[in-house]
Copies of this chain bind each other. A is one copy, B any other.
Amino acid sequence: MAPRVALDAMGGDSGPSPLVEGAVLAIRDIPGLRVSLVGVEEALAREMSRLGVEGERRLSIVPAAEVVGMDESPMDALRRKRDSSVLVAFKEHKAGRVDGVVSAGNSGATMAAAVRCLGRLPGVVRPGIAGPFPTLKGPVLMMDVGANVDCRPKHLFQFGVMAAVYHEICFGTASPRVGLLSIGEERGKGNSLVKRTHELLQTSSLNYVGNIEGGDIFGGDVDVVVCDGFVGNVCLKVSEGMAEALGTMLRDELSRDLSSRLGYLMSRHGFGRFKKRVDYAEYGGAPLLGLKGCGIVCHGKSNGRAIKNAIRVASEMAAKDIVGRISTILDKVGFDVPDDEG
Protein backbone atom coordinates (compact mmCIF):
# COMPACT_ATOMS: atom_id res chain seq x y z
CA MET A 1 0.00 0.00 0.00
CA ALA A 2 1.35 3.41 -0.94
CA PRO A 3 2.26 5.45 2.12
CA ARG A 4 0.38 8.64 3.02
CA VAL A 5 1.91 11.20 5.37
CA ALA A 6 0.50 14.45 6.77
CA LEU A 7 3.03 17.26 7.14
CA ASP A 8 2.42 20.09 9.59
CA ALA A 9 3.44 22.57 6.91
CA MET A 10 3.38 25.65 9.16
CA GLY A 11 5.50 24.57 12.18
CA GLY A 12 9.20 25.31 12.52
CA ASP A 13 11.47 28.31 12.71
CA SER A 14 11.31 29.38 9.06
CA GLY A 15 7.66 29.00 8.01
CA PRO A 16 6.38 26.76 5.20
CA SER A 17 9.23 27.09 2.63
CA PRO A 18 11.62 24.35 3.81
CA LEU A 19 8.65 22.16 4.77
CA VAL A 20 6.97 22.19 1.36
CA GLU A 21 10.40 21.76 -0.21
CA GLY A 22 10.87 18.65 1.92
CA ALA A 23 7.52 17.26 0.78
CA VAL A 24 8.49 17.81 -2.87
CA LEU A 25 11.85 16.06 -2.33
CA ALA A 26 10.02 13.21 -0.61
CA ILE A 27 7.49 12.47 -3.37
CA ARG A 28 10.34 12.45 -5.89
CA ASP A 29 12.22 9.95 -3.73
CA ILE A 30 9.59 7.61 -2.38
CA PRO A 31 7.48 5.65 -4.92
CA GLY A 32 3.75 6.13 -4.54
CA LEU A 33 4.05 8.44 -1.52
CA ARG A 34 1.30 11.01 -0.99
CA VAL A 35 1.81 14.00 1.29
CA SER A 36 -0.99 16.10 2.80
CA LEU A 37 0.32 19.60 3.46
CA VAL A 38 -1.59 20.90 6.48
CA GLY A 39 -1.80 24.64 6.96
CA VAL A 40 -2.91 28.02 5.65
CA GLU A 41 -4.18 27.36 2.15
CA GLU A 42 -2.92 30.48 0.35
CA ALA A 43 0.53 30.27 1.91
CA LEU A 44 0.92 26.63 0.89
CA ALA A 45 -0.47 27.17 -2.61
CA ARG A 46 2.06 29.98 -3.03
CA GLU A 47 4.92 27.70 -1.97
CA MET A 48 3.76 24.96 -4.35
CA SER A 49 3.62 27.44 -7.17
CA ARG A 50 7.08 28.78 -6.28
CA LEU A 51 8.41 25.23 -6.51
CA GLY A 52 6.51 24.56 -9.76
CA VAL A 53 4.39 21.72 -8.37
CA GLU A 54 0.89 23.28 -8.52
CA GLY A 55 -0.68 20.37 -10.38
CA GLU A 56 1.15 17.58 -8.54
CA ARG A 57 -1.56 15.07 -7.60
CA ARG A 58 0.57 13.41 -4.93
CA LEU A 59 0.59 16.64 -2.91
CA SER A 60 -2.66 17.94 -1.45
CA ILE A 61 -3.47 20.80 0.87
CA VAL A 62 -5.53 20.22 4.02
CA PRO A 63 -6.59 23.63 5.34
CA ALA A 64 -5.81 24.71 8.90
CA ALA A 65 -6.08 28.39 9.78
CA GLU A 66 -3.90 28.55 12.90
CA VAL A 67 -0.32 27.83 13.91
CA VAL A 68 1.10 26.99 17.33
CA GLY A 69 4.12 29.23 17.99
CA MET A 70 7.45 27.67 18.96
CA ASP A 71 7.34 29.31 22.39
CA GLU A 72 3.68 28.80 23.25
CA SER A 73 2.60 26.62 26.12
CA PRO A 74 1.47 23.39 24.38
CA MET A 75 -1.65 22.86 26.49
CA ASP A 76 -2.85 26.46 26.26
CA ALA A 77 -2.19 26.62 22.55
CA LEU A 78 -4.09 23.42 21.75
CA ARG A 79 -7.03 24.54 23.86
CA ARG A 80 -7.25 27.91 22.16
CA LYS A 81 -6.21 26.97 18.62
CA ARG A 82 -8.52 24.14 17.60
CA ASP A 83 -7.79 24.75 13.95
CA SER A 84 -4.00 24.66 14.34
CA SER A 85 -1.99 22.83 11.68
CA VAL A 86 -0.48 20.29 14.11
CA LEU A 87 -3.86 19.33 15.57
CA VAL A 88 -5.50 19.07 12.14
CA ALA A 89 -2.61 16.88 10.94
CA PHE A 90 -3.13 14.40 13.77
CA LYS A 91 -6.91 14.48 13.18
CA GLU A 92 -6.18 13.37 9.61
CA HIS A 93 -4.21 10.48 11.06
CA LYS A 94 -6.96 9.63 13.54
CA ALA A 95 -9.50 9.62 10.70
CA GLY A 96 -7.34 7.14 8.80
CA ARG A 97 -6.66 9.47 5.88
CA VAL A 98 -2.89 9.34 6.48
CA ASP A 99 -0.52 6.80 8.10
CA GLY A 100 1.72 9.21 9.97
CA VAL A 101 2.42 12.85 10.84
CA VAL A 102 5.62 14.89 10.55
CA SER A 103 6.07 18.21 12.39
CA ALA A 104 8.99 20.59 12.84
CA GLY A 105 6.91 22.82 15.12
CA ASN A 106 6.65 23.13 18.89
CA SER A 107 7.53 19.60 20.01
CA GLY A 108 5.52 19.83 23.22
CA ALA A 109 2.42 20.74 21.21
CA THR A 110 3.15 17.96 18.72
CA MET A 111 3.31 15.40 21.52
CA ALA A 112 0.17 16.78 23.18
CA ALA A 113 -1.78 16.76 19.89
CA ALA A 114 -0.61 13.20 19.19
CA VAL A 115 -1.65 11.94 22.61
CA ARG A 116 -5.03 13.66 22.35
CA CYS A 117 -5.86 12.43 18.84
CA LEU A 118 -4.24 8.99 18.78
CA GLY A 119 -4.10 7.88 22.42
CA ARG A 120 -1.45 5.75 24.08
CA LEU A 121 -0.69 2.10 23.43
CA PRO A 122 -2.06 -0.22 26.12
CA GLY A 123 0.19 -0.24 29.20
CA VAL A 124 2.23 2.82 28.21
CA VAL A 125 2.31 5.36 31.05
CA ARG A 126 4.16 8.12 29.21
CA PRO A 127 4.88 8.28 25.48
CA GLY A 128 8.23 9.87 24.72
CA ILE A 129 10.52 11.13 21.97
CA ALA A 130 13.37 8.91 20.77
CA GLY A 131 16.13 11.18 19.47
CA PRO A 132 18.80 9.82 17.12
CA PHE A 133 22.45 10.78 17.76
CA PRO A 134 25.29 10.46 15.25
CA THR A 135 27.99 8.15 16.60
CA LEU A 136 31.20 6.52 15.41
CA LYS A 137 29.39 3.28 14.53
CA GLY A 138 25.67 3.73 13.92
CA PRO A 139 22.63 5.59 15.11
CA VAL A 140 21.99 5.67 18.84
CA LEU A 141 18.49 6.42 20.05
CA MET A 142 18.18 8.47 23.21
CA MET A 143 14.80 8.36 24.92
CA ASP A 144 13.31 10.62 26.16
CA VAL A 145 14.65 13.84 24.63
CA GLY A 146 12.09 16.30 25.88
CA ALA A 147 8.52 15.12 26.31
CA ASN A 148 8.74 14.17 30.00
CA VAL A 149 10.77 16.40 32.27
CA ASP A 150 9.83 14.85 35.61
CA CYS A 151 9.98 11.07 35.47
CA ARG A 152 9.57 8.04 37.67
CA PRO A 153 11.56 4.79 37.29
CA LYS A 154 8.72 3.05 35.47
CA HIS A 155 8.68 5.77 32.81
CA LEU A 156 12.39 5.35 32.16
CA PHE A 157 12.02 1.59 32.09
CA GLN A 158 9.32 1.84 29.44
CA PHE A 159 11.41 4.29 27.40
CA GLY A 160 14.12 1.62 27.29
CA VAL A 161 11.72 -1.07 26.13
CA MET A 162 10.06 1.07 23.45
CA ALA A 163 13.29 2.46 22.04
CA ALA A 164 14.86 -1.03 21.95
CA VAL A 165 11.90 -2.45 20.05
CA TYR A 166 11.97 0.49 17.64
CA HIS A 167 15.74 0.07 17.09
CA GLU A 168 15.30 -3.62 16.41
CA ILE A 169 12.50 -3.16 13.88
CA CYS A 170 13.76 0.00 12.19
CA PHE A 171 17.48 -0.62 12.02
CA GLY A 172 17.36 -4.43 12.09
CA THR A 173 19.46 -4.57 15.26
CA ALA A 174 19.28 -7.98 16.88
CA SER A 175 18.92 -7.53 20.62
CA PRO A 176 19.79 -3.81 20.88
CA ARG A 177 22.14 -2.86 23.72
CA VAL A 178 20.38 -0.60 26.22
CA GLY A 179 22.37 1.72 28.50
CA LEU A 180 21.14 3.88 31.36
CA LEU A 181 22.59 7.39 31.29
CA SER A 182 24.36 8.14 34.57
CA ILE A 183 27.50 9.76 35.91
CA GLY A 184 29.61 6.66 36.43
CA GLU A 185 29.59 3.12 35.15
CA GLU A 186 29.37 1.46 38.55
CA ARG A 187 25.89 0.42 39.59
CA GLY A 188 25.94 2.48 42.78
CA LYS A 189 26.37 5.74 40.85
CA GLY A 190 23.69 8.15 39.76
CA ASN A 191 20.83 10.11 41.24
CA SER A 192 17.98 8.36 43.00
CA LEU A 193 15.87 8.10 39.82
CA VAL A 194 18.70 6.34 38.00
CA LYS A 195 19.47 3.97 40.85
CA ARG A 196 15.88 2.82 41.06
CA THR A 197 15.57 2.53 37.27
CA HIS A 198 18.71 0.38 37.25
CA GLU A 199 16.94 -2.20 39.43
CA LEU A 200 14.03 -2.40 36.99
CA LEU A 201 16.20 -2.66 33.87
CA GLN A 202 18.42 -5.29 35.42
CA THR A 203 15.60 -7.74 35.94
CA SER A 204 14.09 -7.17 32.47
CA SER A 205 14.55 -9.29 29.38
CA LEU A 206 16.29 -6.38 27.61
CA ASN A 207 19.94 -6.57 26.58
CA TYR A 208 20.76 -4.14 29.37
CA VAL A 209 24.44 -3.19 29.56
CA GLY A 210 24.18 -1.08 32.72
CA ASN A 211 25.04 2.54 33.39
CA ILE A 212 26.81 4.53 30.72
CA GLU A 213 28.33 8.00 30.93
CA GLY A 214 27.61 11.01 28.71
CA GLY A 215 30.80 10.41 26.75
CA ASP A 216 29.82 6.84 25.88
CA ILE A 217 26.86 7.96 23.76
CA PHE A 218 29.08 8.74 20.78
CA GLY A 219 31.28 5.65 20.85
CA GLY A 220 28.49 3.52 19.38
CA ASP A 221 28.82 0.82 22.05
CA VAL A 222 25.14 1.04 22.92
CA ASP A 223 22.08 1.30 20.69
CA VAL A 224 19.65 2.85 23.15
CA VAL A 225 20.33 5.43 25.86
CA VAL A 226 17.67 5.74 28.56
CA CYS A 227 17.18 9.04 30.41
CA ASP A 228 14.48 11.45 31.48
CA GLY A 229 13.33 14.12 29.05
CA PHE A 230 15.05 16.95 30.88
CA VAL A 231 18.48 15.33 30.78
CA GLY A 232 17.91 14.03 27.24
CA ASN A 233 16.91 17.42 25.92
CA VAL A 234 19.89 19.08 27.58
CA CYS A 235 22.19 16.44 26.01
CA LEU A 236 20.68 16.98 22.59
CA LYS A 237 21.09 20.74 22.79
CA VAL A 238 24.58 20.51 24.31
CA SER A 239 25.77 18.26 21.51
CA GLU A 240 24.24 20.49 18.83
CA GLY A 241 25.65 23.62 20.44
CA MET A 242 29.05 22.02 20.91
CA ALA A 243 29.22 20.86 17.29
CA GLU A 244 28.27 24.33 16.11
CA ALA A 245 30.78 26.07 18.39
CA LEU A 246 33.58 23.68 17.41
CA GLY A 247 32.77 24.27 13.74
CA THR A 248 32.96 28.03 14.23
CA MET A 249 36.25 27.82 16.14
CA LEU A 250 37.79 25.50 13.56
CA ARG A 251 36.78 27.71 10.61
CA ASP A 252 38.10 30.67 12.54
CA GLU A 253 41.51 29.10 13.19
CA LEU A 254 41.80 27.66 9.65
CA SER A 255 41.29 31.12 8.17
CA ARG A 256 44.09 32.80 10.13
CA ASP A 257 47.03 31.87 7.89
CA LEU A 258 47.37 31.35 4.16
CA SER A 259 48.62 27.78 4.36
CA SER A 260 45.68 26.74 6.53
CA ARG A 261 43.26 28.50 4.18
CA LEU A 262 44.65 26.69 1.15
CA GLY A 263 44.70 23.42 3.07
CA TYR A 264 41.06 23.86 3.95
CA LEU A 265 40.18 24.32 0.28
CA MET A 266 42.13 21.20 -0.66
CA SER A 267 40.35 19.22 2.04
CA ARG A 268 36.88 20.31 1.05
CA HIS A 269 35.73 16.86 -0.08
CA GLY A 270 36.80 15.42 3.25
CA PHE A 271 35.03 18.22 5.11
CA GLY A 272 31.94 17.61 2.97
CA ARG A 273 31.85 13.91 3.87
CA PHE A 274 32.38 14.80 7.53
CA LYS A 275 29.56 17.32 7.47
CA LYS A 276 27.19 14.80 5.93
CA ARG A 277 28.14 12.23 8.53
CA VAL A 278 27.33 14.43 11.53
CA ASP A 279 24.45 16.35 9.98
CA TYR A 280 21.23 15.99 11.95
CA ALA A 281 19.31 16.47 8.69
CA GLU A 282 20.39 12.97 7.64
CA TYR A 283 18.63 11.37 10.58
CA GLY A 284 15.09 12.25 9.64
CA GLY A 285 13.64 13.44 12.91
CA ALA A 286 12.73 11.71 16.11
CA PRO A 287 9.80 9.29 16.44
CA LEU A 288 7.18 9.67 19.14
CA LEU A 289 6.93 6.23 20.75
CA GLY A 290 4.11 4.81 22.84
CA LEU A 291 1.22 6.08 20.72
CA LYS A 292 -1.47 4.34 18.73
CA GLY A 293 -0.06 5.85 15.57
CA CYS A 294 2.97 7.47 14.05
CA GLY A 295 4.36 10.93 14.74
CA ILE A 296 7.81 12.29 13.89
CA VAL A 297 9.16 15.51 15.38
CA CYS A 298 11.88 17.43 13.56
CA HIS A 299 14.23 20.19 14.59
CA GLY A 300 12.68 23.65 14.24
CA LYS A 301 15.60 24.57 11.96
CA SER A 302 15.04 21.62 9.62
CA ASN A 303 15.88 22.17 5.97
CA GLY A 304 14.14 20.46 3.06
CA ARG A 305 16.43 17.44 3.23
CA ALA A 306 15.72 16.90 6.94
CA ILE A 307 11.97 17.07 6.29
CA LYS A 308 12.29 14.66 3.37
CA ASN A 309 14.12 12.19 5.59
CA ALA A 310 11.52 12.56 8.34
CA ILE A 311 8.73 11.83 5.84
CA ARG A 312 10.73 8.79 4.72
CA VAL A 313 10.94 7.56 8.33
CA ALA A 314 7.19 8.11 8.83
CA SER A 315 6.35 6.17 5.68
CA GLU A 316 8.68 3.33 6.72
CA MET A 317 7.11 3.20 10.17
CA ALA A 318 3.75 2.78 8.48
CA ALA A 319 4.96 0.29 5.86
CA LYS A 320 6.58 -1.92 8.49
CA ASP A 321 3.61 -1.59 10.88
CA ILE A 322 6.06 -0.56 13.56
CA VAL A 323 3.38 0.67 15.92
CA GLY A 324 1.49 -2.63 15.75
CA ARG A 325 4.70 -4.60 16.26
CA ILE A 326 5.82 -2.43 19.18
CA SER A 327 2.45 -3.02 20.80
CA THR A 328 2.73 -6.80 20.41
CA ILE A 329 6.29 -6.94 21.72
CA LEU A 330 5.62 -4.63 24.67
CA ASP A 331 3.23 -7.21 26.05
CA LYS A 332 5.80 -9.98 25.77
CA VAL A 333 8.75 -8.26 27.47
CA GLY A 334 6.93 -7.63 30.73
CA PHE A 335 6.22 -3.98 30.26
CA ASP A 336 4.09 -3.55 33.32
CA VAL A 337 6.67 -3.25 36.09
CA PRO A 338 5.60 -1.98 39.50
CA ASP A 339 5.35 1.80 39.67
CA ASP A 340 7.08 3.85 42.32
CA GLU A 341 5.64 7.22 43.16
CA GLY A 342 8.84 8.55 44.78
Contacts and interface: CB of A to CB of B under 8 A. Distances in A.
A254 interface: yes
A257 interface: yes
A213 B242 CA distance: 12
Contact of A215 (B188, B218, B240, B259): B240
Interface stretch (A13-21, A59-67, A231-239): A231-239
Contacts of A182: 230
Interface stretch (A88-96, A170-178, A269-277, A304-312): A269-277
A68 interface: no
A241 B217 contact: yes
A256 to B, nearest CB: 6
B233 A249 contact: no
Identify whether the interface residues of A are mostly helix, strand, loop, or mixed: helix
A183 B263 contact: no
B249 A270 contact: no
Contacts of A184: 71
Given A191-B149, A231-B230, A246 B215 contact: no
A263 B267 contact: yes
A204 interface: no
A150 interface: yes
- A interface, size bucket: 35 or more
A135 interface: yes
B259 A241 contact: no
A237 B215 contact: yes
A341 interface: no
A190 interface: yes
Nearest to A237: B214
A253 B184 CA distance: 31
A259 B266 contact: yes
B242 A218 contact: yes
Contacts of A336: none
B245 A273 contact: no
Contacts of A229: 183
Contacts of A266: 259-260, 262-263, 266
A1 interface: no
A73 interface: yes
A183 B237 contact: yes
Given A218-B242, A242-B243, 20 more contacts: A71-B184, A146-B183, A183-B233, A194-B230, A213-B234, A214-B234, A214-B238, A218-B245, A219-B245, A234-B235, A239-B239, A249-B274, A250-B270, A256-B273, A259-B266, A259-B269, A262-B263, A262-B266, A263-B264, A263-B266
